[in-house]
Amino acid sequence: MILRGFIKKEIIQALRDPRLAVMILLAPLLQLLLFGYALTNEVKNLRLAIHNPPQDVVAQEIYDHAIATKWFIPAKEQTRDPVEDIQMGRADVVLVTPDAGISTRMQRPEGKLQLLVNASNVLRAQAADIYMQRIIQSVTQTTLKQDPTTAALKGIPSSPLTVSVRMLYNPSMDSMTFTVPGLVAALMTVLVIVLTCTSIAKEKESGTFETILSAPIRRKHIILGKTVPFVLIGVLNVTIVLIASCLFFHLPFRGSLIGFAIASLCFLYAAVMAGILMSTFVENQQQSMLCGFIVLFMAMLLSGAFFSIENMPWPLRMLSYINPVAHYTFLVRNIMLKGGDGLYLLMYCSALIGVGSVIAFFSFKRFKTTLG
Amino acid sequence: MISLRRTTTILRKECMHILRDPFTLIFSLIMPLVMVLMFGSAIEFNVRNVPTDYLDQSHSQASRTFLNTLSSSGYFKTHEVSSPREGIDRLGREASKAFVIIPPDFESRLLGRGDGKLQILLDGTDNTSGTALSGYIGTIHAKTMANLSNDPSAATAEPITLRTRFLFNPELNSQWFIVPALAAVVMAILSILLTTLTIAREWENGAMELLLSTPVRATEVILGKMIPYAFLGLFAIALLYILARTLYGLPFIGNHLVFWSSTLLFLLTYLGQGLLVSTFIHNQQAAVQIALVLGLLPTMLFSGFIFPIEHMPLGFQYLTTIFPARWYVQIARDQFLQGSTFTQLIVPFSVLILYAYVVIQLCIIHFKENLEE
């Protein structure tokens, strides 16, 4: 009975503040759109220049093919020196053919092409190399197929080994498919932890926390009252974000909604508890924001939402095992893209509950209900 | 006229403020350290030891050669499964990232008819590592051919071979890409926190009104407040520079004068921006919020620090030009790895100078208004 009244007060308080309502409803949507559309890690617009003798048919074909893939765009006017073109920022990638041209060299049969890449951006350099390899492969294959009798290509063996690579779950290698499920987890984290923590910090600052403490309610009621509303807000929000990501980004949802709901509830439990724990360290809203900023920054960096955890050194990988955001990111991605294997879900959900309970234990221990 | 005495008095007062508050001082020394270590080790674009399952139905010399080449490449860590079903299941619960299926007739077809076929299923959810993996597979394909024929020249049996030279970062070291740009993020956090917190605090506790009632001029206040924090910021970047050179072995090909003058310009712009925000908003909490949105977010997202500008839609590419961080990141990265001359960097430099000038002028004008009220 007491609990119901307390929760009702919290919900009214949370929804009364118009800034909060905006933060709950609008901010996650805006961020989802921003990250989904503008901040992609899909490499494109590589400026390609080519240094070749005029009658080099094959080199020209490689170039045209490269431009047609949309990964490459033509570079601005170019000079004699390919290295200088890159140094001066006129091109990102320069394809250099042997002096006599690649068409004639292919008869030998060794057509050596050199690719100069500006590697000051690692991501782009890596992709440029791979893209160009694929383009050359497909060009040689089509040239071979179309015109197997051409003198220029006679005696060139086609490789006896074929390796066919199939991309599962994301055949078009779309970056939104990777980022958006991670974003769902990241947005939920920010919202729920910050809301929980600041709501207590605000009460501490304005002095109303003491009123609550002096009221005849128990510690567990205060903690429940301070968490249940934010779990509800979280549920509302995860629904909005999920619908938006399927609607705007045409993401598949291959798993079961029930599995997703259970995973989200497990995560929300860990998140609100983390919010409560954080609030026990802060005295005012200012500190709550700074603390929240630092903690969330680390939690998101190590969550795998933006950078894959597998590539991190082992001490950081260990940290991700106790990071609820990392678990939830895995879960959302697995359920949405891969359909969610039952055993896997069970394992990660129980990990979330476990981590959440440890956090809850410390929150209860630290949560003071006495003054001074 | 600017009075040197009044300026130094404010400067001295500000220095005492910094020294008296150990939190600020420690924060500004530790923060760059932690940022460099965290970002330097957490962000790695090169994929290694990818858990890979294989199903070898051929059990032949040829299939073993392929699998050996795969596991000795260092990119793949192989594990045998007993059925296709198990392999797919393991992909589904993230136990592996790749699944190699070698059919029973692999060797006979390869040697007999010259069309040996095998299939690799890759987990494409992470498109970046998926792209990298498909690239490695190309290399392994060529190496297998060489190993099978015991003839290294067979690797070049493809009619065209591509030799790629990575300029400026030959080993594609991820840290070389991340750490120089971190300088912008470190300065953004420092200047936002320091200026907004200290000045907004002075408004909040009334110390600013006391200062305004003295015969001090706007320019003097601005200078006196900026110089100590500028030193603190430069010190933090020096720390970052030393870490970058020693811990991550970054080269520094450019000109120190170019790098440090651009750093100073960027720092002044951001300190000025922090001051400006805090002269408009006299409440600490609101000041921090606005400063985060105006300073830190663009520095993280729209500067090319992690998300390359070239990948954004055109409208966003134009949007990035209004943020000074984008121009500073360009200079910093260039000076570490590429070493362009001052004349080649004239555009980003002019933009930084313009920004620093405009922001500081705005600060002075607005402070004057405050003084006259």
Helix (H, G, I), strand (E, B) or coil at A95: strand
Q: What are phi and psi of B43, to 5 degrees?
A: -100, 110
* DSSP class of A152: G
Mean pLDDT of A279-302: 79
- CB-based contacts of A88, cutoff 8 Å, min separation 6: B344
Whether residue B92 lies within 8 A of chain A, CB to CB, comes out as: yes
CA dihedral sign of residues B92, B94, B100, B104: negative
Whether residue B247 lies within 8 A of chain A, CB to CB, comes out as: no
- As a whole number of angstroms, the distance between CA A266 and CA A261 comes to 9
CB nearest B110 (choices: A111, A113, A161):
A161
Q: What is the pLDDT along chain B (373 residues), one digit of tens a residue?
A: 678 888 888 888 888 877 877 777 787 788 888 888 888 888 887 788 888 999 998 888 888 888 988 888 888 889 999 998 888 888 888 888 889 998 888 888 888 777 788 888 888 888 778 888 888 888 888 788 777 776 554 444 556 667 778 888 888 888 898 899 999 999 988 887 777 667 777 777 778 778 778 888 888 888 888 888 898 899 999 999 999 999 999 999 889 999 999 999 999 999 998 888 877 777 766 777 777 778 888 888 888 888 888 888 888 889 999 999 999 999 999 999 988 888 889 999 999 999 999 999 998 888 877 766 6
pLDDT of res. B251:
92
Helix (H, G, I), strand (E, B) or coil at B68: helix
User: Closest Cα partner for A71 from A126, A5, A108, A15?
Assistant: A126
Chain B, 343-362: which have a CB under 8 Å from a chain A CB? Answer: 344
User: Closest Cα partner for B125 from B165, B92, B161, B147?
Assistant: B92
Strand B98-102 versus strand B50-56 pairing type: parallel
How far apart are the CA of A159 and the nearest CA of chain B, in angstroms?
Answer: 7
Residues in A closer than 8 angstroms to B172, CB to CB, are 119, 122, 125-126
How far apart are the CA of A212 and the nearest CA of chain B, in angstroms?
Answer: 24
Mean pLDDT of A67-90: 81
Looking at the DSSP assignment, which residues form a beta bridge with residue A153?
none
ipTM of the complex model? 0.77
Q: Cβ(B31)–Cβ(B236) under 8 Å?
A: yes
pLDDT of res. A101:
63
How is B137-175 classified by DSSP, letter by letter? HHHHHHHHHHHHTT-GGGGG-SSEEEEEEEES-TT--HH
Q: What are phi and psi of B31, to 5 degrees?
A: -55, -50
Q: What are phi and psi of B120, to 5 degrees?
A: -125, 125
Q: What are phi and psi of A93, to 5 degrees?
A: -135, 135
Does pLDDT of A320 surpass 80? yes
Q: What are phi and psi of B150, to 5 degrees?
A: 50, 30
